[in-house]
Amino acid sequence: MSVVLLLCLILLAGGFEAEALSYDYRASVECLAHPEKPLYNGGIIQNPELNDGLQGWTAFGDAIIEHRESLGNKFVVAHSRKQPHDSVSQKIYLRKGLHYTLSAWIRSTEENVAVTALVITSKAYKFGGAIYAHSNCWSMLKGGLIADTTEEAHLYFESNNTCVEIWIDNVSLQPFTEKQWMSHQRQSIEKARKRKVAIQAVDEQGNSLSNASISVTLNRGGFPFGCSINKNILNNKGYQDWFASRFTVTAFENEMKWYTNEYEQGKDNYYEADGMLQFAKSHNIDVRGHNIIWDDPKYQPKFVYSLPQNQLYPAVYKRVNSVVQRYKGQVIGWDVVNENLHFSYFENKLGNDFTPKIFTQVHDIDPQTTLFLNEYNTIEDSRDGASSPPKYNQKIKEIQNYNKNIPLGIGLEAHFPNGSPNLPYMRASIDALAATGFPVWITEIDVESQNNQVWYYEQVLREAHSHPNVKGIVTWTGWNPQGCYKMCLVDNNFKNLPAGDVVDKLLREWGNRKVTLTTNQNGFFETSLFHGDYELEITHPTKKNYTLTHKVQVHSKDEFKKTRQFIQLSI
């Protein structure tokens, strides 16, 4: 009886997670004539499609709200607005610790109007997400938040442009527990990062070999995961060994930047960058080219500040040509005009089309390499509107409109500030950016020094790795004997600090460990393996003191959409 009861409990526990509501990664960057249906059927939102008049919806502030219909579509409108917060609202009930994913379809009576979704509690205003609304079509806002308290609250929408009407439709607010959120991560990893593999062992005549022992070792993971480095690695064997044993991609902290490569005008210096690139090549480590131009006025070569306008562009042109010609075909991506959503040093001096011009120049020199926008606070700090996902997508369109042939990439620095990371906002923001169809990379991830720094670091790494549209991660944790940027993985003897333990733990979880399995009576075993290059060692009781080694690659689903990969090994 106890065995039967135990079995039933296991089945019920397993079935509960299997039936948990899945996360919907869909987002839209298109402005549509008709809004799409609300995600999760609206979640906890009452009357999400406005099919029942204004039931559940009330005016917020001094706005007047109306229920309208156009071409069969029903929605709510807030007009006669005098303050930014004058709009439409719905009362909601938050539960502390729940992760809420938010979406809505927004329209306005003028073009390119910034509209923000907020939740007001008794203690704070919580940012939910933002979008740029248009007058002749509907735009999708997607965001999220974590509840700090259990209480009644209000979801509402605001815009600083008080002259416009705000139209709202198909709103959704879906809560998930932390356990469900983690189950989404596991489900996504199984689907996006791993593949089911069937391995069969046979003898020389092709007969199945049961009880064959097969040890599986990942030599190189298929998902690029790495860490920044600096010139300290050039003559430090301990640093080199520690780094090369873990990472498959890197970016140089300062050694490929203009102020390093041309400290004095006309005198190029690529000594450190050349040496670091050679180190990376010798260990099969990919390099992101960081960066060509930096738009922040604080980080220019000193000679640049005194150049008149007629000499500035030739100096920029020479810089771009110098570094890109030198390393073309040797880096997997270029950060072209770094952080130019926050800064505009060169645009102010050389015109608003400076950025797309430089992207085009780089593409002409190195046409096969992905060219990245690289920005901070796009996924990590929702309070910074300068680089929000809608702003980021606007910049992408600007470059595309100038030159549609450029292979663009989305670079998200992910320097997380003080406080618990807003994982729902992070995930939804990546959803919105990935809807462009361009590859998304997390390029400089770290967390501000605080009591829970290491735990938050693990949280954001797990969230980034599990997102199906993230194509690679670089952490901004390069070692320096004088101290790292915001967090260090190792001490000066290259012994792990707590953050380094997190990295090693995750690498083991993501496949970097030896697994030994035994074939069944038909010579098979099936398992799920992370994408990557593997070494398989096969032994069998009938082949004493004999081990056969095979190298195999587990890759993502092939062009025939097969979910299982078959490998046959002969011993």
The answer to whether the beta carbons of residues 455 and 177 sit under 8 Å apart is no
The answer to whether the beta carbons of residues 514 and 216 sit under 8 Å apart is yes
Catalytic residue (one of 165, 255, 339, 444): 444
Nearest-angstrom CA–CA distance, 22 and 183? 9
208's tokens: 């199945």
DSSP 149: S
Crossing angle of helices 453-466 and 498-509, in 10° steps, is 20
The answer to whether the beta carbons of residues 363 and 371 sit under 8 Å apart is yes
Nearest-angstrom CA–CA distance, 6 and 339? 56
Contacts of 162 (CB under 8 A, 6+ apart): 81, 82, 83, 84, 86
DSSP string, 321-390: HHHHHHHTTTSSEEE-EETTTT--HHHHHH-TTHHHHHHHHHHHHSTTSEEEEEESSSSS-TT-GGG-HH
Q: List strand residue ranges (DSSP E) for 159-271, in order.
A: 166-176, 194-202, 213-221, 225-227, 249-251
Q: What is the amino acid identity at position 357? A: K
Distance of alpha carbon 320 from its chain centroid, rounded?
Answer: 27
The answer to whether the beta carbons of residues 424 and 94 sit under 8 Å apart is no
Nearest-angstrom CA–CA distance, 550 and 566? 14
Distance of alpha carbon 12 from its chain centroid, rounded?
Answer: 34
Neighbouring C-beta atoms of residue 9, cutoff 10 Å: 10
Length of the chain: 571
Nearest-angstrom CA–CA distance, 163 and 84? 10
444 belongs to the catalytic site: yes
DSSP string, 439-475: -EEEEEEEE-SSTTHHHHHHHHHHHHHH-TTEEEEEE
Neighbouring C-beta atoms of residue 204, cutoff 10 Å: 7
Q: What's the 3-state SS for 126-146? A: EEEEEEEECCCCEEEEEEEEE
- Residues acting as catalytic residues: 444
